[in-house]
Amino acid sequence: MLNIGMNLTLESLESNNPDKYKCKIADIENNNLYIDYPISLTTNRTAFLVNDLHLNCIFSTEDNGTYLFRTKVIGKVKKNIPLIILHIPPVEEFKKIQRRQYVRVETAVDISLYLQNSKERFTTITEDISAGGCAVLLPKNIQMHPLETGDATIVLPMQNGDYQYINTPIKLIRNWEDAGKNIASIEFIDLDEKDTQSLFRFCFERQLELRKKGLLT
């Protein structure tokens, strides 16, 4: 399941350092995973992980399955480049997760939707968003039906002032009414790794921002 060159997301399990990182697999030997020095999703800078740091490791396979396993830093080594060594647990400890189990944050971002059945195209905002999907406000004149498909363009305002544009096929999971609002839950289909990482980073940055403002515990 793990391959050289695969992108990984690491999530610190230390309560005093709850950061997330992105990295790549450089080598695999026995039960050891060799990764390049990871980049913090908070600072966008190289992170130096200490030995015995416990982490969640998240990765996606070619069939778009997403998996999580727990690991820890067991050392460092210099091959062609400096590498960090992580322990690989037995495959039985790998847990398949849904992409909406990624960090989900309640926030309004602009999203443009095109529905294939009705040929409707409209712009609205999200109620919440994660790396696997979002909930959007539907205009009163728009009807969506379960499993309906289409395309979306999402505009992510990043913390550094840049804007990331995500283009993805979508599928409607369900819709419902809440306080007079018509809301649809949408799944992102076949996101590439770059877009997944951008969404993950945006959600994590926004979550930290809400925590600093005391709006999230």
Q: What is the structure's pLDDT at 14?
A: 63
Q: Is 202 within the bounds of a domain?
A: yes
Q: Is 104 within the bounds of a domain?
A: no
Q: Are 203 and 131 members of one domain?
A: yes
We report the CATH number of the domain holding residue 205 as: 2.40.10.220
User: Which of 73, 97, 121 represents a domain boundary (last residue)?
Assistant: 97
Measured in degrees and rounded to the nearest 5, phi and psi for residue 132 equal -115, -10
Q: What letter does residue 143 receive in the DSSP assignment?
A: -
Burial class (CB in 10 A: 0-12, 13-18, 19+), 201: buried
Which structural domain range is residue 166 located in? 110-212
Pairing of strands 7-12, 54-60: antiparallel
Q: Are 79 and 120 members of one domain?
A: no
Count of the separate structural domains present in the chain: 2
CA distance 39 to 25: 13
We report the CATH number of the domain holding residue 56 as: 2.30.110.10
Q: What is the structure's pLDDT at 46?
A: 92
Measured in degrees and rounded to the nearest 5, phi and psi for residue 78 equal -115, 115
Nearest partner of 42 among 164, 201, 194, judged by Cα: 201
Q: Is 71 within the bounds of a domain?
A: yes
Q: Are 179 and 119 members of one domain?
A: yes
Q: Are 204 and 118 members of one domain?
A: yes
Q: In sequence order, what are the residues at sequence separation of 6 or more whose Cβ sits closer than 8 angstroms to the Cβ of residue 208?
A: 42
Q: What is the structure's pLDDT at 98?
A: 62
Q: What is the structure's pLDDT at 15?
A: 44
Q: Are 72 and 126 members of one domain?
A: no
Q: Are 140 and 69 members of one domain?
A: no
Q: Are 117 and 208 members of one domain?
A: yes
Q: What is the structure's pLDDT at 16?
A: 45
> What is the residue-level pLDDT of the chain in tens, covering all 217 positions?
899 999 999 988 764 455 789 999 999 998 999 999 999 887 889 998 999 888 889 998 877 688 889 899 999 999 889 999 999 999 888 888 765 456 778 899 999 999 998 899 999 999 989 887 888 999 988 888 878 999 999 999 998 899 999 999 998 877 878 788 888 888 888 888 789 888 888 988 888 888 778 776 5
Range list of β-strands (E), 54-104: 54-60, 66-78, 82-87, 95-97
User: Which of 40, 69, 97 represents a domain boundary (last residue)?
Assistant: 97
Q: Is 151 within the bounds of a domain?
A: yes
Nearest partner of 195 among 141, 131, 151, 143, judged by Cα: 131
